[in-house]
Amino acid sequence: WQICRVRTSTSVAVRNARIDSQGSTASKIPAEWDQYAKTYVCTHHGKYRLQATSKRPRQESRASGCSSQINVCVQEINKCNHTFALMITKCRTEHNHTLNEYAFKSHSSNRVTFDESVLQTVDELRKAGAKRPALSSLSLR
C-alpha cells in the first residue's frame, strides 16, 4: 500500500553517449530499451520543508525523511549473445511511516477514476476540437 515516484532516470542515449565519451569497453544498450536506469522512491522521501509562506499559507509537504528506495537498470546478462535484462540494483524497503490502505486510497493519484465510456467520450470530443475549458465544464455521469 505505498505510492512510489520516479526520482531520477537515465535514458539509453545518455548512457551510450557516456560509454563513447569515456572510451569504455562496456557494451552499448540497444535503443529499444529507451530507459537505462530509474530510481523509485517513496512519496514521503526527502526532508520536510515548511511550504507555507505569507502569500499561500497551509501548503503541505508529504516529505518525512523516508529512505525507502528501489534502483533498477538495464544490464547485460549474457555477453556471448548480448542479452540484456532489467535488474534491481538496490532495494531498500524500510519505511519510517505506517503503510495502510487508507493512506494509499487517499493519495491524489488514486482518488480520481473515470469510467471507460467517459474516457471514450472525452477522446471523441478532443478529436472533434473541444478545448480543455469546455471539457472540464461537462458533467459526464
pLDDT, one tens digit per residue, over 3-42 is: 777 889 999 999 999 999 999 999 999 999 999 999 999 8
Residues near 96 by Cβ (< 8 Å), separated by ≥ 6? 44, 64, 65, 66, 67
pLDDT, one tens digit per residue, over 78-96 is: 989 989 999 999 999 888 8
Q: Is-contact 104 2, C-beta < 8 A?
A: yes
pLDDT at 101: 82
pLDDT confidence band for 58 (50 / 70 / 90): low
Sequence ranges of the domains in the chain: 4-106, 113-141
Of the listed ranges 11-15, 54-58, 86-90, 121-125, the least confidently predicted one is 54-58
Mean pLDDT of the chain: 82
Q: Rounded to whole angstroms, what are the CA distances from 84 to 70, 88, 138?
A: 19, 13, 47
pLDDT confidence band for 60 (50 / 70 / 90): low
pLDDT confidence band for 122 (50 / 70 / 90): confident
What's 54's DSSP letter? S
Pick 73 or 131 by higher pLDDT: 73
